[in-house]
Chain A
Amino acid sequence: EIVLTQSPGTLSLSPGERATLSCRASQSVSSRYLAWYQQKPGQAPRLLIYGASSRATGIPDRFSGSGSGTDFTLTISRLEPEDFAVYYCQQYGSSPLTFGGGTKVEIK
């Protein structure tokens, strides 16, 4: 099973700042099979990024994804108030599909 380790666990930032979230895989994952989701309290996850770097429909361009192999990054260029949430990475390069433990982006 591929374990995805997200860091940091919590990121405390102010609106307007840049957020850099890391997702590290225990074995190499094809970029095609790496996705990122945003989840707000009481809501279902929302797809942000698929294929490591492609933004989903309707996702603002302040969200970007990058990386390959075992190291992937989600960057939010300038935090808006609505971006404070928990973010999860997900892989299905090999079964079983797994999610990372999440990074909480909170208001500093």
Chain B
Amino acid sequence: QLQLQESGPGLVKPSETLSLNCTVSGGSISSSSYYWGWIRQPPGKGLEWIGSIYYSGNTYYNPSLKSRVTICVDTPKNQVSLKLSSVTAADTAVYYCARVVVYPQYYFDYWGQGTLVTVSS
């Protein structure tokens, strides 16, 4: 059974960089059939796609965040990472990683449990 687990600091100071990892178990991040994505959800609000990455490193970002986001893969560790720079209180959210089926449809079929990141001094 595929499992995804997000990890990283739960508290980040304004203007600093948020860094999270997603460790995938029960399957290979190098599978040619899938992308891997990050989605976030501010407390009490809806879902926002951050970006997606293929194991080769090919990435797609939400234009609203593109200038501040970097998503990478570490295939030996079976991990996907997220970096979001210059954070503000508006970046406070639960951050999820998810597996992305991209063909012939596009959807997130497996999700991590999510990790809450609070931006505060």
Contacts of A33 in B (CB 8 A): 105-106
Q: How far is the CB of A91 from chain B (nearest CB, A)?
A: 8
The answer for the CA separation of A107 and B25 in the assembled complex, in Å, is 37
Contact string against B for A residues 84-108, beta-carbon threshold 8 Å, 1 for contact and 0 otherwise: 0000101010011111111000000
Q: List the 4 shortest-distance A-B pairs measured between CB atoms, nearest first.
A: A44-B111, A35-B107, A92-B106, A97-B49
Interface contact tally, CB-CB below 8 A: 60
Task: State how many residues of chain A have any CB contact under 8 Å with chain B.
Answer: 24
B residues 48-102 near A (Cβ < 8 Å) are 48-49, 52, 60, 62-64, 96, 98, 101
Given A44-B112, A44-B113, A99 contacting B107 (CB threshold 8 A): no
Contacts of B113 in A (CB 8 A): 43-44
The answer for the CA separation of A50 and B104 in the assembled complex, in Å, is 10
Residues of A within 8 A of B (CB): 32-33, 35, 37, 43-47, 50-51, 54, 56, 88, 90, 92, 95-102
Q: How far is the CB of B41 from chain A (nearest CB, A)?
A: 9
* Cβ–Cβ contact B46 & A100, under 8 A: yes
